Amino acid sequence: MLKKKINLIRLLSHYRRPTSIVSSKSDELREKYFPKDGTISSPAFSVLRTVLMQSIRHLNNANIDAAVIGLMSSGDNLVNARKYLNYLDHQQEIPSKMFLSKLLKLYNSTAKTRKLESQELEEIQTIYSALRKDFEYLDSSLCENLIYGISLTENWREGLELLEETRLSAVPSTGSYCALASKAFEDESTFSIAWKILEEIVEERKEPKCEVFTSFLNTIKRTENFKKHLEQMFDFIGKNELQVSRQVILKLRDILTEREIKNFVTKISEKGHCDICQTKLSHLQLMDREFNELQKHFLQSVLIRDDVFQKSSPDEVNLFLKIINKSQPYDCVIDGLNVVYSSGTNKNPKVYSAILSSVVKYFKDKDKRVLIIGRKHMLKWKTPAMLFVKKNADIFYTGDLSQDDPFLLFAALKSGINTDFLSRDLMRSHSYLLNNELKTIFKRWQQIHQYSLVTTSGGMRGDQVIVRKPFGHCNFAHKIGKGSWHIPFREKYMSNPPESFGSPDNWLCVQLE
């Protein structure tokens, strides 16, 4: 009972009210009026229209057509949609523009399941030209549907103009980009256009769909420059840190096996070794130029911003800079309160200072120079363990009303490219404040230098400290040596993948040479 309820709550929390009036009832309606095997007769359409208009309050003559075709969105309903068009013609009614443009989209989804006949392509062209002629300007939804249509025909290059037109009022959708890119990938001579579109997709921070890569792979399998093209694709997904889906990987494996190129699905160990070929993945690297850029802009972008008083105060920042300039470099900067609160909040200072001292000892034993960032209220912890901490590490206390994370990050950055920091916090709220370019650099830097405390144990003078090292290896597709590629992939296509810090679960190991 409780489990069922929790389930329900979870479902509800994900639930969004659909933007379309019909869609909440669409499953029900589809089942009732669309026989799975056969087609619908004209009288059935009149019934459907009346029923829909009666049962759903906000439907009227203006939006009924698109609502009907909305119910036909899946699979082989093209026949029904065309029948509906016939029916409208018979009734001497004018189909709405949205209906016609959605019909183009339906052609597109049908094209994924079977090859369209030449007569159907002609129809697409007719509808397309008629719609284009009718409007002086086009809005983004019309553009999208028109692109879906035209990308099936020989005149698909007109779709590129439509993309430009879309940008007047919105960012083009992933679907319309991908429809064009997959068409462009159908011929080797137009590859350059396709790659340009793909660059635009990733520039908009969208994920290219599987169909683009499948279309690409289908084309190159017959070409002479097979390996060159393949490496171009690997380069692209590596450079943009994309993860393709299992579906694409299966396709890729088929083709590779056909060409007798060795390929394996594999896992990568925590130390970065491939299970199959035993090569070690490349280390992540940060250019000096990139690092300097980050170092230069970090304080302004994250701590000071428009108003330094929100997170700190001018005096505090000046003091901090003065101290850090004098005492750097450090090997490791520790987020004092984050480390300490790993045992839970609301404990006494004795516990806290014991943890801190054991962590300091851990680094001291490795001969590291340590800086701890804390808050002023820590000065009240008057325990022997704190004496040990003070003797073996430098501590900077920020004010109780200031944020300590930006100080921590800046201290680590300022100390140089080799300095690590210790915190469990993923620092998302701070990286959010950086611009796109710096965000990428910051994440890379984090992936190389962020250590996190797993546990301290062994009582008050706890000496057992377990610290997780960063993965530090490339977690995107890359080449090692002459032609050994490792490509991470995910189970399913995700339009909006979560940010990942560790190593992906699934990899494909390809030996091109």
Sequence-ordered strand ranges (E) for 297-363: 332-335
Q: Binding-site residue total for another protein (CB under 8 A)?
A: 84
Sequence-ordered strand ranges (E) for 174-280: 244-245, 262-266
Site residues (CB under 8 A) for another protein, limited to 314-343? 314, 317
Tell me how far, at minimum, the Cβ of 28 lies from another protein, in Å: 8
Torsional sign, CA 407, 413, 419, 421:
positive
Is the CB of residue 508 less than 8 Å from the CB of residue 489?
yes
Residue number with CB closer to another protein (96 or 398)? 96
342 three-class SS = helix
Tell me how far, at minimum, the Cβ of 116 lies from another protein, in Å: 15
Site residues (CB under 8 A) for another protein, limited to 399-438? 400-401, 433-436, 438
Residue number with CB closer to another protein (12 or 43)? 12
Single out the segment in contact with another protein by CB under 8 A; choices: 249-257, 301-309, 415-423, 442-450. 301-309
Q: Which of 39, 55, 135, 384 binds another protein (CB under 8 A)?
A: 135
What are the angstrom distances between the C-alpha of 462 and each of 352, 362, 421, 424, 458? 11, 10, 21, 19, 4
Residue number with CB closer to another protein (228 or 305)? 305
Q: Which of 224, 288, 306, 499 binds another protein (CB under 8 A)?
A: 306
Single out the segment in contact with another protein by CB under 8 A; choices: 6-14, 325-333, 474-482, 495-503. 6-14
What are the angstrom distances between the C-alpha of 196 and each of 100, 158, 190, 309, 436? 30, 15, 10, 45, 20
First CA to last CA across the chain, in angstroms?
59
Q: Which of 43, 258, 492, 495 binds another protein (CB under 8 A)?
A: 492
Site residues (CB under 8 A) for another protein, limited to 151-170? 164, 167-170
Tell me how far, at minimum, the Cβ of 20 lies from another protein, in Å: 5
Q: What is the DSSP letter of 396?
A: E
Tell me how far, at minimum, the Cβ of 195 lies from another protein, in Å: 16
Please report whether residue 117 would count as binding another protein according to CB under 8 A: no
Residue number with CB closer to another protein (225 or 318)? 318
HSE of 8 in the Cβ direction (CA atoms, 13 Å)? Answer: 5
Tell me how far, at minimum, the Cβ of 223 lies from another protein, in Å: 31
Tell me how far, at minimum, the Cβ of 54 lies from another protein, in Å: 15
Q: Which two tokens stand for residue 178?
A: 């991908």
Which of 296, 275, 273, 293 is CA-nearest to residue 283? 273
Residue where the block lists tokens 């003559």: 61
Residue number with CB closer to another protein (65 or 211)? 65
Q: How far apart are CA 88 and CA 99, in angstroms?
A: 11
Single out the segment in contact with another protein by CB under 8 A; choices: 41-49, 64-72, 185-193, 325-333. 64-72
Single out the segment in contact with another protein by CB under 8 A; choices: 126-134, 245-253, 419-427, 496-504. 126-134
Q: Which two tokens stand for residue 217?
A: 């792979």
Q: Which of 39, 46, 86, 292 binds another protein (CB under 8 A)?
A: 86
Site residues (CB under 8 A) for another protein, limited to 11-50? 11-12, 14-15, 17, 19-22, 24, 27-28
Looking only at the bridges linking them, the beta strands covering 484-490 and 478-480 are: antiparallel
Which of 398, 408, 411, 388 is CA-nearest to residue 329? 411
A 10 A CB-CB count for 241 gives 16
Is the CB of residue 275 less than 8 Å from the CB of residue 269?
yes
Residue number with CB closer to another protein (88 or 477)? 88
A 10 A CB-CB count for 82 gives 16
Please report whether residue 95 would count as binding another protein according to CB under 8 A: yes
Q: Which of 51, 79, 94, 466 binds another protein (CB under 8 A)?
A: 94
Q: Which of 133, 222, 326, 380 binds another protein (CB under 8 A)?
A: 133
